[in-house]
Amino acid sequence: MATKAGLLSVLSAVLLVGLPWLLGWQVPDYRPSQFISELGALDTPNRSMANGAFFLIGAFWMGAVEAVRKQLEPKPMDPFIRFGVIAFAASYIGSVVFPCDAGCPVEGSASQWVHNTLLWVLYAGAMVAVARMPIAVPPLVSRALKMLMLLTFVMLQWTAIYRDWAPGYWQRGYEAFFVIFWLLWVLPMTFSNRDSKAAR
C-alpha cells in the first residue's frame, strides 16, 4: 500500500502536468506554445476556472512537501528541497492574486510587474529543489539531467522576451523535469521508509 507522501506526490504531479492542458482546450485560440499563466490572465475566458486550478496545484504541492517531511521523520528534510518546492507551489497560488495581463507581456500593470518578478523568483524554487535531490541513477546521468533542466529554465527566460521560441513548451518541459526528479526521489524513499518502519 502506497504511503500518503507517495500518493500526494503522484496526484500533485498529475495535476501539475495535466490541468494546464485541460484548461488550454477550454480557451479559444489558446495554444500550448503560450505561457501557462496566460490561462489565468486578465480578461481571459474561463479565468475563474484557471484560478481554481492554479490554487489547487499550489495547495497539493504544499501538501506533498509536508507529507514527505513527516515521512522522513526523525530525519530532517533538506531545507533547500523543502522550501524550494514550497516557493514553486506559492508561485502558482500567487498567480491567482497577481495575474498577468493579456498575453503576459514583459511590461504592463502593477500585477504584471509582481508576476514577472516575485512570482518568477518563486517559480525558480523547483530548480533549487531539484539541484539538491539525490536520485537512484549514476551521478553522471543525474548531473546531465539537472543541467538539461537548467538549460530549459534559461530558455524559458529567453522566450519571455522572444515569444517566437514557444515559451509554453519550455515551461512545460521545465515542470516535467521537476515532476520526474520529484517522483524519482520521493517514491523509492517513501516505500523504503515504510518497509523499514514495518520491520521494527
- pLDDT (tens digit, 9 = 90+) per residue, 133-185? 999 899 999 999 999 999 999 999 999 889 889 999 999 999 999 999 999 99
Could you list the pLDDT tens digit for every one of the 200 residues in the chain? 468 999 999 999 999 999 999 999 988 889 999 999 999 999 888 899 999 999 999 999 999 999 999 999 899 999 999 999 999 999 999 999 999 999 999 899 999 999 999 999 999 999 999 999 999 899 999 999 999 999 999 999 999 889 889 999 999 999 999 999 999 999 998 766 555 544 44
Judge contact between 176 and 128, C-beta under 8 A: no
Q: What is the pLDDT of residue 2?
A: 61
pTM of the model: 0.91
C-alpha 124/C-alpha 130 separation (Å) is: 10
The domain ranges of the chain are 4-198
Closest by CA to 50, choosing from 85, 15, 79, is 15
C-alpha 28/C-alpha 108 separation (Å) is: 23
The set of cell numbers assigned to 3 is 504511503
